[in-house]
A and B are shown apart, each in its own frame.
Chain A
Amino acid sequence: MKQLETQYKKMLMDYITYQSEKNLYIAQNFTRQLIQKNVAPEDVVGIHKNVMKEILPQTSNEEQHAYDFLIEVMVQYGMTHRAHQSLLQKQAEYDMEMKIAADIQKTLLKTIVPQLANVDIGMVSIPIRKMNGDYVHFLAEDKKYVCVAVTDVIGKGVPAALCMSMVKYGLETLEYTYKEPPYVLEIINRVIEKSVDDSMFVSMFYGYFDIQKSTFSYASAGHEPALHYSAKNNQFSTLEAKGLLLGVLPDTKYAFNEVTIEENDIIIIMTDGVTEFRFHDDFNARDLITTIIEKNKFLSAQQLCTLLYEQIEQMQDFKLSDDFTVVIIKK
């Protein structure tokens, strides 16, 4: 503090003598130094008071009392300033923790897309913020089957990510039920319903593709319907299955449907981030998706996913309003 006082004294004397812009500029830089060193506003007034007494010893007692008064007034400013500083520090800590949480989520919920001999699988999943509210889980055995679960957690940020981990571990412990989409949904529903708050829930589309029989059976828990492109008929159909969101009621039952998958058929499973066009009222997103797929059906599953993402993002002026996930399975 003594050193600051000496510096301040010199600056003040220079200013009183020359009153130049340069002197003021030096004072501004000095303020930065004070802020950096966390010197409180009332201490600055204290420095000024002491220096004034040194350079103008004839100042009256009244003036000194007036400075004491000003110091008292400035104390509140000082407290607010310190509170602000501490908030900034906390904010930095939170940012750091969020970054760590997002990294953990990325590692924990990393989806590995299976590479199979007879089935081509592609996926794009882009979060709108740091944490992804969508999650895709695959389970596969080459030449036998591939299961896919596409999920969307409602509720954002950390709680949603924690809920998603629950879904993942639920799916991983399925064992023999993975062939039965309704069972899968019923089990996961029970896990989630017990553990989440009232406004949180999960939508899930679960499909089981039997590669040997060429059938795809599926069930949906309040999820966006998937699409099936039949190459033979050059036609799209909607893979709809009624079912309540996961996490709403404890003993929900789910229905399932089955379709036959033929050579060059395509299955498109997505989250509502793909079909929702907030600022295009009468727009039918499904028409756009089917047009893009139909025109580009010869591309690989991964290329199709990427193309869908690029075109839809462009349609929305690069301002998607939700996490975007699409999975494409081609036979």
Chain B
Amino acid sequence: MDIIVYFKEQNQQLYGFIEGEIDTFTAPKLRDELENIKFNENRDIVLDLSKVHYMDSTGLGIFVAFYKRALREAGQVKLVGLSIRLRRLFEITGLSDLMDIETDKEVEIN
């Protein structure tokens, strides 16, 4: 089980595509990738989770940390393409009221 993370910049937005399973073992890689992102007032960050098949609470911690950093550094973050299962995880934890989250919307990039 592994995870793939890659980025594309388009129309003033930085798209991050995350594919695979986010758990205790793959979370450090995702954290490193997200830590490298520099927030910038003129650029939104959109993370596409439509190809994330599983995420545990460690994974959730990565997104919370990323969100908190975005708050401090005035960055805009949006999570898109969440499966019902993932969305439920964000709902139970109260994070869906806090973060900008969209379900089942895949980002199309040329």
Contact = CB atoms under 8 A, between A and B. Distances in A.
Q: Do A and B truly interact? A: yes
A42 interface: no
A3 to B, nearest CB: 50
Interface in B55-99: 56-58, 60-62, 64-65, 68-69, 92-95, 97-98
A321 interface: yes
B94 A156 contact: no
Contacts of A221: 94
Contacts of B24: 156
A272 B97 contact: no
Contacts of B23: 321
B1 to A, nearest CB: 10
B56 A276 contact: yes
Given A223-B92, A244-B95, A248-B98, A152 B57 contact: yes
Contacts of B56: 276, 278, 321-322
Nearest to A252: B94
Contact of A244 (B31, B62, B65, B94): B94
A154 interface: yes
B92 A222 contact: yes
Interface string A195-226: 00111110100000000000000000111110
Contacts of A154: 57-58, 60-61
Contact of A245 (B31, B62, B93): B93
Given A249-B98, A278-B54, A198 B92 contact: no
Contacts of B68: 198, 248
Contact of A225 (B54, B62, B92): B92
Looking at chain B, what size class is its interface with the partner chain?
20 to 34
A248 B92 CA distance: 14
B95 to A, nearest CB: 7
B3 to A, nearest CB: 15
A331 interface: no
B65 A198 contact: yes
A225 B88 CA distance: 12
Given A155-B61, A156-B24, A278-B54, A245 B95 contact: yes
Interface in A110-144: none
Interface string A149-189: 00010111000000000000000000000000000000000
A243 interface: yes
A238 B62 CA distance: 28
A242 interface: yes
A245 B58 CA distance: 13
A243 B94 contact: yes
Interface in A220-266: 221-225, 242-245, 248-249
A249 B97 CA distance: 12
Contacts of A272: 57
B35 to A, nearest CB: 10
B58 A222 contact: no
Most buried by B among A152, A203, A221: A203
Given A156-B24, A156-B58, A321-B56, A222 B93 contact: yes
Interface of B: 23-24, 31, 54, 56-58, 60-62, 64-65, 68-69, 92-95, 97-98
Interface of A: 152, 154-156, 197-201, 203, 221-225, 242-245, 248-249, 272, 276, 278, 321-322
7 contacts: A154-B61, A198-B65, A199-B65, A200-B61, A222-B95, A243-B94, A248-B68
Given A203-B93, A321-B23, 19 more contacts: A154-B57, A154-B58, A155-B58, A197-B65, A198-B69, A199-B62, A199-B65, A201-B61, A222-B95, A242-B94, A243-B94, A244-B95, A244-B98, A245-B64, A245-B95, A248-B98, A249-B98, A278-B54, A322-B56
Top 4 closest A-B pairs, CB basis? A244-B94, A222-B93, A198-B65, A199-B65
